[in-house]
Amino acid sequence: MNTQNTTRNVLVTGGSGGIGRAVAKRLAADGHAVAVHYAGNRAKADALVTEITDAGGRALSVGADIADEHAVAALFDEVEASLGGIDVVVNTAGVMVLAPVVEYDLEVFDRLMRTNVRGTFVVSQQAARRVRAGGAIVNFSTTVTRTQFPTYGPYVASKAAVEALTLILARELRGKDITVNAVAPGPTATPLFLEGKTEEQIAELSKAAPLERLGEPEDIAETVAFLAGPARWVNGQILFTNGGLA
């Protein structure tokens, strides 16, 4: 595959949410065809697809429980049938529920792990089988694997698992001409991040990075666009996209 100025077919999981939405819009603007995945909010995914197509892009919405291997296989079938193949898979779908380890609800823990670990694994497994040569798999971690903020224990544990999976899958795909990397955002102004935080906490986090602001979803999307397109010599890496926080 010609890796310069090449449009690709992309599946973005969690594509109707904060970072996923920005990623889908950026990749569509770059000329790629984008499948916008949703888990429960089809209306948001459909609205994004309409926004992309109205701007001259190519997109479709697709639904599935990413932790259900049968649903994910069917999802990949649908995207392949609609777009003619898959070149890039971006795993932005995730759950974040914060609380100290000592009082963390185990049912919430299981739900978080099911989405963040099993979901990423199931999608990555299908991606490893389906992504065409010259393509890319992009998973999502978090900068908190380095900053180790209190109350993030289960979430960080899930993302540490994602990092390990990403690094090993990159080595397992030797000879396939498929890159596998993860993006680890810092504090980013999305509903997932802002929920449950006080104005004082948000202000403090805004000043934590040397650039003294929260990241925007578009900042993260820029890194994904690099990995999804021209970054053919970046492989088996965790890219910390956090304004210098850690």
**Domains of the chain, each with CATH number or no CATH:** 9-241 (3.40.50.720)
Beta strands in 82-198 (DSSP E): 88-91, 136-140, 179-185
CB 64 within 8 A of CB 74: yes
Mean pLDDT over each residue of the chain, to the nearest integer:
94
Percent of the residues in the chain that have a pLDDT greater than 90, as a whole number: 85
Q: Is 104 a catalytic residue?
A: no
Q: Are 238 and 141 in contact (CB under 8 A)?
A: yes
Q: What is the pLDDT of residues 52-87, one digit of tens each?
A: 999 999 999 999 999 999 999 999 999 999 999 999
Q: Which residue in this structure is represented by tokens 């949703």?
A: 38
Q: What is the C-alpha separation between 240 and 209, in angstroms, rounded?
A: 12
Calpha distance 45→60 (Å, rounded) = 8
Q: Look up residue 57 and give its two tokens.
A: 């892009």
Read off the pLDDT band of 126 (50, 70, 90). very high
Question: 38, 104, 152, 155: which is the annotated catalytic residue?
Answer: 155
